[in-house]
Amino acid sequence: MDRCSLGSIGRCGWTSSGLHGSVRIGDLWAPLIGAVAMAAVGVGDDGDTVGPVAAAEGSEAGASGAAYPEFDKKCIFCRIGNREESVDLLHWDDQFACFRDIRPGAPHHYLVVPRKHIANCKSLKKEHISVVQKMVNIGKSVLQQNGMNDLADVRLGFHLPPFCTITHLHLHVLAPASQMGFISRMVYRVNSYWFITVDKLIENLKSLPDE
């Protein structure tokens, strides 16, 4: 269900709980509706749209920087983060990159990725809370730079495996959330079986034992 933009080349929509007491019918139907929504936007087995990746891999490499430690040459997001793809980067620093989603789920839809290869939000530990917070700050800053100042009307989150084909951590930044269509609301449904908000993720990470 993820979708992430590869700038002018293309973007890739690189688009859980016990039962206690009575269960609402809507809760039972939600996973099915979500699966249909993902199929409608061309989502792969892990939830990400896969078409734009091939186009990106055939694109001319952009201006190269030094490869980040733990860089995976086969990972499209690692290559984007290290400026080895011709992608319009809205933010780039020594740790993170941000670019547009190719099939936006809202008027503003950006992806923030770490340059270091991290598989997904399930692979995060308590020590990664600051990483998530930095990604959120970058996403909000890019929104403001692009004229979106109502940060109360923003959806920020990650798809949960196996709903993510690009195995590289990426934060979805969507705004205004109030203007998301039906399909997008399902694909990025708050704290569903397939999508978790940054607030919930950070809460979960804080609850993990110290290592």
DSSP percent split of the chain into helix, strand, coil, nearest 5? 35, 20, 45
Residue where the block lists tokens 């039972």: 28
**Choosing from 117, 168, 170, 172, which is the catalytic residue?**
170
**Total Cβ atoms within 10 A of residue 86:** 16
Check: CB of residue 92 under 8 Å from CB of residue 142: no
128 CB-near residues (< 8 Å, 6+ apart): 118, 205
Cis before 107 (ω within 30): no
18 CB-near residues (< 8 Å, 6+ apart): none
The Cα–Cα gap between 105 and 13 comes to: 9
Least Cα distance to 53 among 25, 92, 80, 71 occurs for 80
128 as an active site residue: the answer is no
Residue where the block lists tokens 């609301």: 185
Query: What 3-state DSSP class applies to 31?
Result: helix
List residues with catalytic annotation. Answer: 170
